[in-house]
């Protein structure tokens, strides 16, 4: 009986450690904070680049077709977003589908969403990675 009790305790201990490890992985934001402005956006779709807080009101009210100058970002001081559409992500976040034009003239499709910390962040659009724009 003592052996069974020790085995059960060991299993519970292992389960608890496993759950803690998985919850730690799931809670890591994986983004680039505004303080890390020298880091570059990796364009992998999983990294969030938070945008300057002074443009938050413009992002909140942006209409389709509107251009928003982003200010000082990893893409340059004159980077610009053109809003293509507005939507709610499956996570419940308010988002914009947009075209980002870097100061050097390069364009890429991005998703710009409002995150839990009330900061807006940009990620590479999945449509940019999938031929023909992905699912329609």
Average pLDDT over residues 18-34: 46
Strand partners, 96: 86, 112
Q: How far apart (Å, rounded) are the C-alpha atoms in residues 5 and 110?
A: 54
Q: How far apart (Å, rounded) are the C-alpha atoms in residues 64 and 82?
A: 8
Q: How far does the chain reach from its first CA to its final CA, in angstroms?
A: 60
Residue 58: count other Cβ atoms within 10 Å of its Cβ.
Answer: 17
Tens digit of each residue's pLDDT (9 = 90 or more) over 56-113: 999 999 999 999 998 888 888 889 999 999 999 998 999 999 999 987 888 889 999 9
Q: Tokens 């999945």 identify what position?
A: 126
Helix (H) or strand (E) holding 59: helix 56-61
Q: Is-above-0.75 flag for pTM?
A: no
Predicted local confidence at residue 47, as pLDDT: 81
Give 3-state DSSP helix, strand, coil % of the chain, rounded to 5: 35, 30, 35
Domain boundaries, the chain: 1-30, 34-133
Tens digit of each residue's pLDDT (9 = 90 or more) over 104-116: 888 889 999 999 8
Residue 11 pLDDT exceeds 50: yes
């Amino acid at each position: 009986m003592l052996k069974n009790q020790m085995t059960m305790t060991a299993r519970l201990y292992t389960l608890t450690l496993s759950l803690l490890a998985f919850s730690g992985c799931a809670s890591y934001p994986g983004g680039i904070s505004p303080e890390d402005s020298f880091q570059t956006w990796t364009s992998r779709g999983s990294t969030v680049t938070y945008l300057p807080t002074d443009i938050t009101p413009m992002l909140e009210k942006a209409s389709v077709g509107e251009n928003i100058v982003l200010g000082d970002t990893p893409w340059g001081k004159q980077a610009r977003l053109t809003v293509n559409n507005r939507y709610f992500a499956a996570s419940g976040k308010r988002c914009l589908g947009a075209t980002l034009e870097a100061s050097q003239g390069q364009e890429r499709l991005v998703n710009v969403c409002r995150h839990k910390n009330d900061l807006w962040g940009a990620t590479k659009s999945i449509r940019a990675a999938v031929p023909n724009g992905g699912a329609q």
